[in-house]
A = this chain, B = another copy of it.
Amino acid sequence: MITPSAGLIDFLKSSDNFIIAVHFDPDGDCLGSASALSEALRSIGKKTTLFCETTVAAPYNFMPGSEEFKRPDQFSSQGVSSASFDSLIVVDANSLSRVVKNQNKEFFSDFKGRSAVIDHHETESSFGDIKWIEPHMPATGMMVHSLIKEMGIQITESMALNLYTAIVVDTGNFRFDNVNSDVLLAASELAAAGAVPSRIYSELYESWSTNRLELFKSVIATLTIDEGIAFMYASKKMFDESGADAGDAENFVSFPRVAKKLKAQVFLREVGERHYKASLRSKGDINVARVAEKFGGGGHKNAAGCVIKDDFEAAVDKLKKELKTLI
């Protein structure tokens, strides 16, 4: 159990009309956290409106309230500006630069109310009149769960579903390094409140189309592992034959993690003649962003990407050579 920052509950109780904003390219953690918080505030008579710059991806449509998130253009077309709200809550992000990109920054320019931040990301932002930032928390959903309980609000079945989903997404269904007894206890309480674990898992991870499955079968046949580095590719022919699209290949790069002592993974996707998109992943301290940068790409330490224009074998050789300098 974690205690909300001083002032946050007063802020929530003393305001009436909230806009709750999440980061763009939203995931299950920000969506579930914001939706549950919105429902909780409504249950004590508050008015809430949900903001997300990006359209919510279809795999999250099962989450109750996910249909309520509105983009800036939807607010504008209804003649609603941020001045219409007396309070702003930023959830699972700690600055407006993670909420709106350049062209939409002006949406919040006429906001005159008070703002609060509820987040678990490392912060370097000064944004927010009230900040509740807990970088050691595995999911913002766990913070919102604690907050709702602390406010004495009953967790409904839909809040439980949203918060359980938030936790599952940010812990890889209880398999990442961030899983501890607190995560499992929160999940247990949410299951008791009506979240159905297998249903949520199934919605998130067991919804592959036949095309996606056929593409996977082709891609996995190309898997090789050399000195702890896994290589896989998807040719245009494989996409054509399976009927799958680029989105269907998402996360395929993670599969080789099943292999013992794996250090890094590369997934090459053919996007044109002598033209490949490479997704790079690694475990621990191996910084694949350094490799991606050498080919004009970028990313994070354990997840990066770049584009290579070369023959397939040459592209593989070049990536392999760079990766081997790291391991």
**Residue A185 lies at the interface, judged by CB distance under 8 Å to chain B:** yes
**Residue A78 lies at the interface, judged by CB distance under 8 Å to chain B:** no
**Residue A75 lies at the interface, judged by CB distance under 8 Å to chain B:** no
Interface size on A (CB < 8 Å)? 42
Report A257-275 residues with CB < 8 Å from chain B CB.
257-260, 262
User: Copies per complex?
Assistant: 2
The answer for the CA separation of A174 and B210 in the assembled complex, in Å, is 25
Q: Which of A139-147, A220-228, A315-323 contacts B (4 or more CB under 8 A)?
A: A220-228
Find A258's partner among B182, B206, B220, B258 (CB 8 Å cutoff).
B206
B173 touching A175 by the CB < 8 A rule? yes
11 contacts between A and B (CB under 8 A): A173-B173, A174-B174, A174-B187, A175-B202, A178-B198, A179-B197, A208-B259, A209-B260, A213-B256, A217-B221, A220-B220
B260 touching A206 by the CB < 8 A rule? yes
* A198-209 interface code vs B (CB 8 A; 1 in, 0 out): 100110011111
A191-B197 contact in complex given A208-B260, A258-B205, C-beta closer than 8 Å: no
The answer for the CA separation of A177 and B257 in the assembled complex, in Å, is 24
B198 touching A177 by the CB < 8 A rule? yes
